[in-house]
Every structure is written in C-alpha cells, then in structure tokens.
Chains A and B, each alone.
Chain A
Amino acid sequence: MSDISLQETTYEAGMGDYFALLKPRVMSLVVFTALVGLLVAPFPVHPFIGFVSILCIAVGAGASGALNMWWDADIDARMKRTAGRPIPSGRVEPGEALAIGLGLSGFSIVLLALATNFLAAFLLAFTIFFYAVVYSMWLKRSTPQNIVIGGAAGAFPPMIGWAVATGAVSIESTLMFALIFMWTPPHFWALALFVKSDYGNAGVPMLTETHGRDTTRRHVLIYTLLLVPVSLGLGFTSIGGPVYLAVASVMNLWFLKGAYDIWRRDDAACEADKHKVEIAVFKVSLYYLFLHFGALLLEAILRQYGISGW
C-alpha cells in the first residue's frame, strides 16, 4: 500500500447551498418592512442595536424558510419550480436543514431578546412558529385558503421592528401588519392566475385548482376591496400623513382598477393576450407594498424636519 485517496461518493454542500435554505428573496422583503417598522417608531434606536435587530429578524425569517424546506421536501421534489432547491436536488441532507432551521431560530430569538426586549423576541418566535408549524405543517396541505392565513407570517416583521423600538404593540404596528396580511392574497392569486403551477400534482390545494379560476378572480377583487380601508386607515395614525395618504390613494386606485379588470375577464380573454392583465396587476401589487412602506419612511424623515405628518 503506497497511496491514500478518497473516493468521491456524495456531493458536499457549500456555503451557497446552506444560504439558499434561508430563502434570500423572501428575506429581502422581511428586512425592508422590519426596517421601516423600526424607523417610523417614535423612539430612536441606537444604530448598532437597530442593525443587530434587523439581522436577527432576517435570520429568524431565514430559519423558518429552512424549516419549511425541511418539511416540504417531498412537495418541492414534485414541482418544477422548487425541484432545484437544496434538499430535493440532494445538495443538502434533510437533517442538516432541520438542524440549521432550529439552530438559527434559537440563535436569532435569544439574541433579539438580549439586544432589545422580550416582546420583540416573542413576536419573532411566534412568526417562526406560525410559518413553520401553522402554515407549512398544517394549512398548506389542507386548505386553499392556506395563503390567506399563512400570509400572517410575512406580515409580522414591521410589527417586530416597531416592538424593537417601542417595546409595545400599537394601532400603528397592527395596521402595518394588517396591510401586508390583506395584501398577500390578491398579490399571490394574481400570480397564480398566470403561472402554470403543478401544485395539483404535489397535492397542495390552490384556489385556482380547487375552486377554479373564476372564483380566484372574484377573490382577488374582494381582498383588494378589503385592503383599501386598511391602507387608508394607516394614513390617519401617528405614522401617516398627507404624503402617505396621497401615495396610498393613487396606489389603491391603481390596484383596484387592476383587480376589477381581472374580475371582468374570463379564461378565453386571458389566453388571447397571454395573461397580460394578470401580469400587470402582479407588478402593480409589488409597487403597491414597496411604495406604501416607502411613503411611511418618507413621512418619518419629513416629520424630523417638521414638514409633514399630522
């Protein structure tokens, strides 16, 4: 015997594979909304503590993403969009994803509690629980309304940001939560109307497949109508102001018109123009949320100079 060599039998995961478990694209929305929640609060936070808080919220969101991928590996393997994720493609072991998910959850919650307060840490823990257990394990496979209730998980970050600064839950943070919560269904269903999904093959009930596309179109309109009072109501709280109300009014009219256009259409019209309206409304929904939170941030900056606000 004169030589030692190792045989390559399995793929070894790199840092990028582990990072992909944290769903970085979802994290970016979480970071933005949590940051706005933190910055619009009436009490200033030390920049470093603010940075650590946002990092904890992002890592907590990533951890819940890893737990979701661990639980849903069987579904992900059966759908084209998700078959390339780290677990179904064999790059990361399911046990590793579970360990990373649990480890990062504990890390982010404890660090947030130590850096800020227990309410913020509790809200982060509840968000992770809600996404991993209530949404992933329970609702996703059992009801076509999964996206409605599961959307709450994505709505918590601004409330956590607010709790970091104030140590409390208030009407302002509740309305920021409600804004994302009510926005999620029309945003997601507009997407579901034009993306050819294979949720049915994976056994996941989606409104477009369980109740048909007409029902989904009606739901988009109803939820958009319910979204309007939440969006405008936020404008009359202490974090709102004329600039926010102006932005919100324009965006609500735009989104409502899109939802109405979707509602009036049928499958033939969709096929004829290759889902042009649905794609446009989906894009509007992205601007809708971004500009709402952007306007809240702008109000906070203007208030500092005594210009806007009530």
Chain B
Amino acid sequence: MAIKVEHELHERRRGRNLGVGLLLIGFIAIIFGLTVVKVLQLGDTAEFERFDHVARPQIVPQEEADQ
C-alpha cells in the first residue's frame, strides 16, 4: 500500500503557506521600492561620487582634463 502523499493537514496548511509566501513577496517589494525611491532622492549621483576620495577621470570636467 502506498504512503498517502496528500493529507487533510496539508490542505489546512496550504492557506498558511500561501499567506507566508505573500507576506515575503510583499516584504521584498517594500524593500525594493524603498531602495528605488531613496536612490532617486539622492539627486545627482556625481555629486556624492566626488567624495569617495578616489580619482575618477570620467567625472572631471572636460576643460580641467585638457589643461
């Protein structure tokens, strides 16, 4: 005789599993959304890139680079 794969218990737990899954998806969406909004609010990223104390030729204005 085969082992029963589906049990009534699984049926009852389905709702709970689905709920936890949806909560996790919601959590990911919130963190992703917050990241996007926060990064967009930073404004011009070149502004704060200048403060990382590393030479970045690509952000040096052209006339300065020509001198």
B62 to chain A, nearest CB (A): 35
Q: How far is the CB of B54 from chain A (nearest CB, A)?
A: 27
**Distance between Cα atoms of A48 and B4 in the complex (Å):** 47
Does residue A49 face the partner (Cβ distance < 8 Å to B)?
yes
Residues of A within 8 Å of B15, CB to CB, are 14-15
B53 interfacial contact with A, CB 8 Å: no
A to B contact number (C-beta, < 8 Å): 40
Q: Which residues of A contact B8 (CB under 8 A)?
A: 8
Decide: B34 and A3 in contact? CB cutoff 8 A.
no
Q: Contact between A12 and B12 (Cβ–Cβ < 8 Å)? A: yes
A52 touching B34 by the CB < 8 A rule? yes
Output the least CB separation between B3 and chain A (Å).
Answer: 5
User: Interface digits, A108-145 against B, CB 8 Å rule (1 contact, 0 not)?
Assistant: 00010011000000000000000000000000000000
Verify A12–B13 contact, CB threshold 8 A.
yes
- Kindly supply a per-residue 1/0 record for chain B positions 3-43, scoring 1 wherever the CB is within 8 Å of any chain A CB and 0 otherwise: 11001110011011011000000000010011001000100
Q: Is the CB of A6 within 8 A of B9?
A: yes
Q: How large is the interface on A (under 10, 10 to 19, 20 to 34, 35 or more residues)?
A: 10 to 19
Q: How far is the CB of B15 from chain A (nearest CB, A)?
A: 5
| Majority secondary structure of chain B interface residues (helix, strand, loop or mixed) | helix
What distance in Å separates the Cβ of B59 from its nearest Cβ neighbour in chain A?
27
Q: Please tell me which one of the listed residues A4, A8, A114 contacts residue B34 in the complex, with CB atoms under 8 A apart.
A: A114
Partner of A52, one of B1, B4, B30: B30
Within 8 Å CB of B18, what residues of A? 15
- Give chain A residues whose Cβ lies under 8 Å from the Cβ of B3: 3-4
Beta-carbon nearest neighbor of B7 in chain A: A6
Task: Give the distance in Å from the alpha carbon of A111 to the alpha carbon of B9 in the complex.
Answer: 35
Chain B residues with Cβ below 8 Å from A55 are: 30
- Nearest neighbor of A107 in chain B, beta-carbon distance: B27
- On whether A14 and B33 interact (CB within 8 A), knowing A5-B4, A5-B7, the answer reads no
Do the beta carbons of B16 and A15 come within 8 Å of each other?
yes
User: A1-40 interface mask toward B, CB cutoff 8 Å, 1 = contact, 0 = none?
Assistant: 0111110100011110010000000000000000000000
Across the interface, which residues of A come within 8 angstroms of B41, CB to CB? Answer: 46
A115 to B9, CA, bound (A): 40
A48 touches B34 (CB 8 A): yes
- A4, A8, A18, A48: the one contacting B37 at CB < 8 Å is A48
Q: What CA separation (Å) do A186 and B9 show in the bound complex? A: 48
Shortest beta-carbon distance, B60 to chain A, in Å?
33
| A226 → chain B closest CB, angstroms | 41
Q: Are A49 and B13 in contact (CB under 8 A)?
A: no
B65 to chain A, nearest CB (A): 37
State in angstroms the CA–CA spacing of A8 and B8 once bound together: 9
Closest 7 CB pairs of A and B: A15-B19, A2-B1, A48-B37, A14-B15, A4-B3, A48-B33, A46-B37
Given pairs A3-B1, A6-B7, A14-B16, 10 additional interface contacts (CB within 8 A) = A8-B8, A12-B9, A13-B16, A14-B15, A14-B19, A15-B16, A46-B37, A49-B37, A52-B33, A115-B34
User: What would 26 A/B residue contacts be, using CB atoms closer than 8 Å?
Assistant: A3-B1, A3-B3, A3-B4, A4-B3, A4-B4, A5-B7, A6-B9, A8-B8, A12-B9, A13-B16, A14-B12, A14-B15, A14-B19, A15-B16, A15-B18, A15-B19, A18-B19, A46-B41, A48-B33, A48-B34, A49-B37, A52-B30, A52-B33, A52-B34, A114-B34, A115-B34
